[in-house]
Amino acid sequence: MNEKYIPSEVEAKWQKDWAKEKAFSTEINRQRPEYYVLEMFPYPSGNLHMGHVRNYSIGDVVARYKKMQGYNVLHPMGWDAFGMPAENAAIKHGINPADWTWDNIANMRRQQQELGLSYDWDREVATCHPDYYKWTQWMFLLFYEKGLAYKKKAAVNWCEDCHTVLANEQVVDGRCWRCDSVVVKKELEQWFFRITEYADRLLEDLKDLKGWPERVKTMQENWIGRSTGAEFSFDIPEIAEKIFVYTTRPDTVFGVSYVVLAPEHPLVEKLVAGRPEAKEVRAFVDRVKNLSEISRTSTETEKEGVFTGAYAVHPFTGEKVPIWVTNYVLMEYGTGAVMGVPAHDQRDWDFADKYSLPKRLVIQAPSGDSTIETMTAAYEGSGQMVNSAEFSGRDNESGKDVICAWLEEHGVGKRRVNYRLRDWLVSRQRYWGAPIPMIYCDKCGVVPVPKEALPVMLPNNISFDSGTVSPLAKVEEFVNCSCPNCGNRARRETDTMDTFICSSWYYFRYTDPHNSTLPFDSAKVNYWMPVDQYIGGVEHAILHLLYARFFTKVLKDAGLMNIGEPFKNLLTQGMVIKDGAKMSKSKGNVVSPEEIIAKYGADTARVFILFAAPPERDLEWSDQGVEGAYRFLNRLWRIVGHYAGENALVADEYDPSKLNKNERELRRVLHVTIRKVSEAIGERFNFNTAISSIMELVNAMYAFRELQAEASPGLIREVVAGLLKLLAPFAPHITEELWHETIAEGSIHAQTWPVFDAAAVEVDEVEIVLQINGKVRDKIIVPVGLGASELESMAFEQDKVKELVADKKVVKVICVPQKLVNIVVK
RNA sequence: GCGGGCGUGGCGGAAUGGCAGACGCACCAGACUUAGGAUCUGGCGUUUCACGACGUGGAGGUUCAAGUCCUCUCGCCCGCACCA
């Protein structure tokens, strides 16, 4: 074999071979347990970055390891290929978005192949391909049939830069998640998916996701934001209307001193019409409405309001309470109106202070001596109800229930569950997406495109300008169509779908990527799904991961398969950092994977990235660390090369019990390593410690070679074969090459994982730590398996121990066999 | 404010309650060499000539024994945040 390790030669050779042999193609096989490992598919921006390399390296180790363990492994890759950047490239450089996207895919696929990733390329999907988006459209129609897709006019998030609306999940701190520009509210008619209908199940089933990180589940829980309480009404006799309020604290209802409405509340105008307060209220409402989402919802913004001049009737007491309009009530949550209870809600307390509204104590804290006069803040805890008519004296927790019962009995209100989660706004005023398959007919209204007419193809002859309407609206051949119902002239919907829809079901398509009659065959999905291990960045904790869960539940309810949750185990990998910051063009700290591969090879890149940190943690890029990984592979190459072509590697049977001491030690290290690596990969995904123990094995081989030039026949073969197999998932090319050079003809990646031999790791002597008062004072080597009493007496025979114990009184002796003796003296 | 995570050598990071710092990087020394930024061998927490003492953000506690368990506290990171 070649004396020098030349990664480029080795890697190209085996990549070609794997592709030719279709080494990683997968079919259903009921003889073996199935395992589905999936990395979040990328947006084809054109080039892989280190975050991708990390993501795919992690997945590839899992895939290759599981395969060697005997699993039937599905490990696919594809492209989240619709989206804005393609369109921006078109606008900026006049390139066709489809061409731009397909070129990028070709380049990134090449880069992935150069990383030696074990994908089943026959299953590749691209969401922008008509064979794929046909089924995305089919999904839309399914949602429509089930009443889960609907159109409504609402105040929606509008991104001025992207010229499109956004779902709530895509607005981060009042800014667009993609371009970071400030989002404004616009009244528009848009398509929504009724995700709120699934809110409870999305929340409930989180409990079963034992393999998900706690923080992702918490984030979803917060996002769904379930709260329980009551909704009830205050009469406004003057205008014969009711104000409905929502509260989680019905037990504080006797503390109400005012009612507040959101500025957008439909009753505001009705209430103030013709009153002297009208002018001031209208001015206030206008001012608040014009504020940006950020300043509007910031907790720092001072609570402000105006009195409408109108009063409502308290349903319990019959008292008149003033109606105010304020900036701290949101129209989108609950009913857009709130009862003000200053004594027991800090926001109301602040508001009451500012406008000198009365405060009434209705929950007495356990200390029992609070009065409004002595309180300096609202009391939001629990306690005893006071000043609450017949409810006084009750503890407030049971009071909630009793108040609700009263409301229901008197027909004033009812118990209600509320969610922070809103319906998913799915239409986008953009070109490069899956067209929404709907038609507008003057006679028939909104008509879905018949499924047999799918896909609704994206036209290619598109012109871009920075207008405000959807680009598709300007393509007459696209817009004009005939109504599927009556045949008259009709217009197509010109919005496209949020790309998160495309990515909400791709993992199903992988199980049956070429199906031309259905999005997937349910038997195939049921065989492969759920994904056993999903790997990706935590930035999708709510977005993609929530939508995907929603989709899965809808498809299950539609009877398309029987999977309730898509991703059994989720690994959220950390970011790749350099000089303390995330790699980014603007920071100028980007290291290109292609350069690293060209210089050191893919195996080095993979080993470095997996060795430098555990997968969940952020990874600090280090050029010297890469050198270290490269050095390790060279060291491996040399030590294996040293034995290649020698008798050491002949496939002789041998008797491990005949080995000498050095040889037994080498064999012991091998088996300890097998155990450690198996545990580190299989149980904890601690790839960094797995690699470190493989390094120790290589070090042990060097140490052995120093001790003796020749080895018993068969031993080196066992060690080399084991070593290569253990490293194969991490560094697939170099191990494949060395395997062929030294062990056998077939691919190492089709081998079975090495088996740990318990007998091999047995030792006959063990070091015992001798402690006095918990401090290490001596160490002794003793035969393995000594009992506590023997150990204890041996400990006391040591000179050092005698000396230190001599004039003291032994209080206690703790013996941990195989480990230590601790003598407690006074 | 609420929720989650993290604090260990010069650095990345290891440690089922049982010898803190595995492995790697950097650094130092030796060997080999015309040469070495290659390779091999060894050293490498702080302090002390040494015995030893000290050491896992800080302060307490439990324990024969604590990086690990408990209480409090400081710092950093992430998520959510006027959600009634």
A64-78 pLDDT, tens digit each: 999 999 999 999 999
Q: Which residue is nearest to nucleotide B84 (CA to C1')?
A: A247
User: Could you tell me which residue, A209 or A587, shows the higher pLDDT?
Assistant: A209
The model's confidence at residue A406, banded by pLDDT at 50, 70 and 90, is: very high
Residue A624 CA distance to nucleotide B26 C1' (Å): 9
Taking the C1' atom of every nucleotide in all shown strands and the CA of A620, the nearest one is: B12
Residue A14 has pLDDT above 80, yes or no: yes
Q: d(Cα A71, Cα A7) in Å, to the nearest integer?
A: 29
Q: d(Cα A604, Cα A408) in Å, to the nearest integer?
A: 69
List % helix, strand, coil for chain A (3-state, nearest 5). Answer: 40, 20, 35
Residue A234 has pLDDT above 80, yes or no: yes
Give the orientation angle of helix A732-742 with respect to helix A602-611, to 10 degrees.
Answer: 120
Residue A764 CA distance to nucleotide B32 C1' (Å): 38
| Residue A562 near residue A556, CB atoms below 8 Å | yes
What is the rounded average pLDDT of the residues A646-652? 67
Taking the C1' atom of every nucleotide in all shown strands and the CA of A214, the nearest one is: B4
Taking the C1' atom of every nucleotide in all shown strands and the CA of A226, the nearest one is: B83
Question: What is the arrangement of strands in the sheet containing A775-783, beginning at the earlier edge strand?
Answer: A775-783, A765-772, A820-825, A810-816
From A147-151, A227-231, A240-244, A790-794, the region with the lowest mean pLDDT: A790-794
From A233-247, A282-296, A416-430, A762-776, the region with the lowest mean pLDDT: A282-296
Confidence (pLDDT) at A3: 86
Confidence (pLDDT) at A647: 62
3-class secondary-structure state, position A441: strand
Taking the C1' atom of every nucleotide in all shown strands and the CA of A302, the nearest one is: B82
The model's confidence at residue A467, banded by pLDDT at 50, 70 and 90, is: low
Confidence (pLDDT) at A165: 86
Residue A779 CA distance to nucleotide B28 C1' (Å): 29
Taking the C1' atom of every nucleotide in all shown strands and the CA of A629, the nearest one is: B24
Tokens 């995907």 -> residue: A548
Confidence (pLDDT) at A116: 97
Tens of pLDDT, residue by residue over A666-690, are: 999 999 999 999 999 987 899 999 9
| Residue A748 near residue A724, CB atoms below 8 Å | yes
Tokens 């009737």 -> residue: A313
| Residue A760 near residue A656, CB atoms below 8 Å | yes
Amino acid at A376: T
Residue A373 has pLDDT above 70, yes or no: yes
Taking the C1' atom of every nucleotide in all shown strands and the CA of A335, the nearest one is: B84
Taking the C1' atom of every nucleotide in all shown strands and the CA of A775, the nearest one is: B65
Q: d(Cα A218, Cα A206) in Å, to the nearest integer?
A: 9
Q: What pairs with residue A73 in β-bridges?
A: A35
Residue A581 CA distance to nucleotide B76 C1' (Å): 14
The model's confidence at residue A87, banded by pLDDT at 50, 70 and 90, is: confident
Tens of pLDDT, residue by residue over A434-459, are: 999 999 999 999 999 999 999 999 99
Tally: H helices and E strands in chain A:
26, 34
Quick one: tokens of A656? 């491990």
Residue A573 CA distance to nucleotide B77 C1' (Å): 15
Residue A768 CA distance to nucleotide B46 C1' (Å): 27
For residue A424, the number of C-alpha atoms closer than 13 Å in the C-beta half-sphere is 29
| Residue A273 near residue A298, CB atoms below 8 Å | no
Quick one: tokens of A722? 């084991």
User: Could you tell me which residue, A116 or A712, shows the higher pLDDT?
Assistant: A116
Please state, in angstroms and as integers, the Cα–Cα distance from residue A251 to each residue in A313, A346, A748, following that order.
18, 16, 69
User: Is the pTM for the entire model greater than 0.80?
Assistant: yes
What is the rounded average pLDDT of the residues A243-256? 94
Please name the residues in contact with A358: beta carbons below 8 A apart, sequence gap of 6 or more. Answer: A257, A342, A352
Q: Which residue is nearest to nucleotide B4 (CA to C1')?
A: A215
Instruction: Tell me if ipTM is over 0.90.
Output: yes
Residue A775 CA distance to nucleotide B54 C1' (Å): 13
Q: What percent of chain A has pLDDT over 90?
A: 66
The model's confidence at residue A84, banded by pLDDT at 50, 70 and 90, is: confident
What is the rounded average pLDDT of the residues A12-17? 97
Please state, in angstroms and as integers, the Cα–Cα distance from residue A159 to each residue in A188, A272, A296, A503, following that order.
13, 33, 17, 21
What is the rounded average pLDDT of the residues A336-351? 92
Taking the C1' atom of every nucleotide in all shown strands and the CA of A245, the nearest one is: B84
Candidate ranges A36-50, A462-476, A638-652, A773-787; pick with highest mean pLDDT: A36-50
Confidence (pLDDT) at A648: 63
Residue A10 has pLDDT above 80, yes or no: yes
The model's confidence at residue A92, banded by pLDDT at 50, 70 and 90, is: confident
Confidence (pLDDT) at A774: 85
| Residue A548 near residue A567, CB atoms below 8 Å | yes
Mean pLDDT, rounded, of chain A: 91
Taking the C1' atom of every nucleotide in all shown strands and the CA of A632, the nearest one is: B24
Residue A376 has pLDDT above 90, yes or no: no
Residue A779 CA distance to nucleotide B55 C1' (Å): 22
What is the rounded average pLDDT of the residues A630-651? 85
User: Could you tell me which residue, A788 or A500, shows the higher pLDDT?
Assistant: A500
Q: d(Cα A290, Cα A296) in Å, to the nearest integer?
A: 9
Confidence (pLDDT) at A186: 83
Confidence (pLDDT) at A93: 85
Confidence (pLDDT) at A466: 59
Residue A776 CA distance to nucleotide B48 C1' (Å): 19
Taking the C1' atom of every nucleotide in all shown strands and the CA of A623, the nearest one is: B25
Residue A660 CA distance to nucleotide B21 C1' (Å): 33
Q: DSSP states of A456-522 as a string?
A: -PPPS-----S-SS-GGGG-HHHHEEE-TTT-SEEEE---EE-HHHHTTSHHHHTTSTT-SSSS--H
Residue A628 CA distance to nucleotide B30 C1' (Å): 22
The residue among A416, A434, A594 whose CA lies nearest residue A506 is A434
Measured to protein CB atoms, the chain B nucleotides within 7 Å are 3-5, 11-15, 18-20, 22-26, 38-42, 53, 64-66, 78-84
Q: Which residue is nearest to nucleotide B22 (CA to C1')?
A: A692
Taking the C1' atom of every nucleotide in all shown strands and the CA of A332, the nearest one is: B83
CA A272-A278-A284 angle, to 5 degrees, is 110
Please name the residues in contact with A685: beta carbons below 8 A apart, sequence gap of 6 or more. Answer: A58, A62, A571, A614, A615
Taking the C1' atom of every nucleotide in all shown strands and the CA of A701, the nearest one is: B40
Q: Which residue is nearest to nucleotide B80 (CA to C1')?
A: A222
| Residue A36 near residue A531, CB atoms below 8 Å | yes
The dihedral over CA atoms of A753, A754, A756, A760, expressed in degrees to the nearest 10, equals: 180
Residue A208 CA distance to nucleotide B63 C1' (Å): 37
Give the orientation angle of helix A7-21 with respect to helix A732-742, to 10 degrees.
Answer: 90
Confidence (pLDDT) at A468: 62
Q: Which residue is nearest to nucleotide B5 (CA to C1')?
A: A215
Residue A750 has pLDDT above 90, yes or no: yes
Residue A642 CA distance to nucleotide B32 C1' (Å): 18
What is the rounded average pLDDT of the residues A210-214? 88
Residue A242 CA distance to nucleotide B80 C1' (Å): 33
Q: d(Cα A679, Cα A69) in Å, to the nearest integer?
A: 13
Amino acid at A500: F
The model's confidence at residue A168, banded by pLDDT at 50, 70 and 90, is: confident
Q: d(Cα A342, Cα A339) in Å, to the nearest integer?
A: 10
Please state, in angstroms and as integers, the Cα–Cα distance from residue A254 to each residue in A115, A387, A403, A465, A512, following that order.
68, 7, 10, 59, 61
Residue A9 has pLDDT above 80, yes or no: yes
Residue A207 has pLDDT above 90, yes or no: no
Residue A3 CA distance to nucleotide B38 C1' (Å): 14
Q: DSSP states of A325-386 as a string?
A: EESSS-TTSTTSEEEE-GGG-HHHHHHHHHHT------EE-TT----TTT-SS---S--EE-
CA A123-A128-A131 angle, to 5 degrees, is 60
Residue A293 has pLDDT above 80, yes or no: no
The residue among A228, A183, A220, A179 whose CA lies nearest residue A203 is A220
3-class secondary-structure state, position A324: strand
